[in-house]
Structure 1
Amino acid sequence: MADPQTEQPSPGTETVAEPVEAPSFEIRPATPEDAPFMVQCHIECLAETYAHIMPPAFAQMRRDRFRQEVQETLDELLEMQQALTAGRAPIRSHWLAVADDGPLAGEVLGAVASGEGMAPWERVYFSNPEPPVSFNLDHLYTRAVAHGSGMGQALLDVALAAPSGGGRAAWLWILRDNPRAEAFYRRNGFVPDGLEVGCGPSWFDRPMFRMWRPSQP
């Protein structure tokens, strides 16, 4: 897998992407070695997903924090690895969607994380009431090239799989004015719970709202 830092275009250059057919993919648990590739994927997913509602500075801020984001992601993946080795549930479980054929083979094209309770950022920056259920879909992103491939559904299914079968009851946050994502979550049984707040300065104070669903058969 290529180093995401060395794959960046040089300043002042412009790349023109050729049309790429949605690739086939595999879903697998993330490992600590995946940290830089997860972060690169996450940054590009954010840039693509929110281009219609965020200024260019939004993605650039995250590119500027690449190394810090890698370290934070590595810490989470190490905790996950240690928890699984010890036979306990991680604070957050992470899975990746990796292209397994074609010109993108080996590239991380999607990621999802889930776990019990609020994420640390929410407890630090907000005083929100507890959600209707305890299990949190922390984030789910796919690259635009994978849209329509079933990748998002596959990631959601593995992240919210209930031990006894079916899908877990869960909750999530979603930005307002993100109709593609909202329709996806509604198809999977999620509905708004009535709570809406601003995201804060690093997300340009965009409004986000909380959705939840009961357990699924």
Structure 2
Amino acid sequence: MSAPVAPSAVRVRPASVDDARGVAEVHVQAWREAYVRQLPATVLAGLRVEPRIERWASIIEDDVTDVFVAEVDGRIVGWATAGDGRDDDRPTSRELEGIYVLAAHHGTGAGQLLLDAAIGAGDAYLWMMDDNPRAEAFYLRNGFVRDGIERDQLLADHPIHIVRLVRHAGVRQWAAVKDAETALLTADVRRDTARVDELLHPAFVEIGRSGTLWTREQIVGALAEESADSRATPQTDEWQFRQLSPELVLVTYRLTTPSRISRHSSLWDVGGTAPRLRFHQGTVVPPASAQ
């Protein structure tokens, strides 16, 4: 039995106008491979290479978007595009606009080489179709996380839901902030005065549901007096994060208990060795607008 043939080396380079057909071919084939669950079969079957060739030639030639291709034995097997960010509220100044590799070349390192060429190791963001676990796992390995921003849009005239992922120095802080915020929602931590003291900033204040201003000392005391069964740990979702400055992170989320749904905003100081909560406010959502 003969030994397996080693895969050919992947070469990544900036695209030229002559690559427009190869990029268009990968565009169509990669969509058909990647979006079987997300797009109707009729949409995928209707994709055509020819109309995309001129468009890709224009994109490559106008030099606004950086386009890179991955080649194996002289054939384009993947591409990536990046630019300064197409969104008014862009969280970083670099956007990975698209990246596709043919399924036959998954696991060869082509995707990683393309991503590195397009955005390097610096801060960046991207939009991803939701419910795309393979792609999300790849982005997670490269330091990207969801920041809670999502929206609906059309892809090939078909409605899809997309989510935003970001990568920057603050992302690691966000995970610590979420852990700390979640801890403050658990009954055991809320009754642990020493632990609450560690989590609250010396200047902490809270605006209660009635509009009352609570000081740090009042909150610590009130939490210590909660009975053991007075508060089950609630469910949370719709987390969003904003890096307001190197030292401040704003987090918002929805909280659900058996009796009510509320939306919460917290301002965390991340300038020290561990996050400390500076401000918190919760607002009960009326039943008609709870969803």
TM-score by length of 2: 0.54
Partner deviation per Cα, 1:102-145 (whole Å, 9 max, x = no partner): xxxx2211000101020xxxxxxxxx661211211000000001
| RMSD, aligned CA | 2.0
Q: Kindly state the Cα deviation for residue 76 of structure 1 after the two structures are TM-superposed.
A: 1.2
User: Secondary structure of the residue that 2:122 maps to in structure 1?
Assistant: coil
For the structure 1 residues 198 and 107, does the alpha-carbon distance in structure 2 shift closer, same or farther, using more than 3 Å as the test?
A: same
Alignment of 1:184-195 (within 5 A): 184-195=138-149
Q: 2:166 corresponds to which residue?
A: 212
Q: 1:151 corresponds to which residue?
A: 110
User: Secondary structure of the residue that 1:68 maps to in structure 2?
Assistant: helix
Does the 8 A contact of 2:147 with 2:164 survive in 1? yes
Partner deviation per Cα, 1:176-202 (whole Å, 9 max, x = no partner): 111000011011111111111112262
Q: Which structure is richer in relative contact order (CA contacts within 8 A, separation 6 or more)?
A: 1
Q: 2:75 corresponds to which residue?
A: 107
Q: 1:173 corresponds to which residue?
A: 127
Q: 2:50 corresponds to which residue?
A: 67
Q: Where does the alignment leave 5 or more consecutive residues of structure 2 unmatched? A: 172-291
Q: Kindly state the Cα deviation for residue 156 of structure 1 after the two structures are TM-superposed.
A: 0.4
User: Secondary structure of the residue that 1:199 maps to in structure 2?
Assistant: strand
Alignment of 1:117-136 (within 5 A): 117-118=85-86, 130-136=89-95
Q: Which amino acid counterpart does residue 26 of structure 2 have in structure 1?
A: C
Number of matched residues?
166
> Which of 59, 67, 70 is the aligned partner of 1:94?
67
TM-score by length of 1: 0.71
Hey, what's the Cα distance between the residues in 1 that align with 2:7 and 2:101? 11
Q: Which amino acid counterpart does residue 92 of structure 1 have in structure 2?
A: T
For the structure 1 residues 33 and 187, does the alpha-carbon distance in structure 2 shift closer, same or farther, using more than 3 Å as the test?
A: same
Q: 2:193 corresponds to which residue?
A: none
Structure with greater helix percent:
1
Does the 8 A contact of 1:22 with 1:147 survive in 2? no
Q: Where does the alignment leave 5 or more consecutive residues of structure 1 unmatched? A: 1-19, 81-90, 101-105, 119-127, 162-166
Q: 1:43 corresponds to which residue?
A: 28
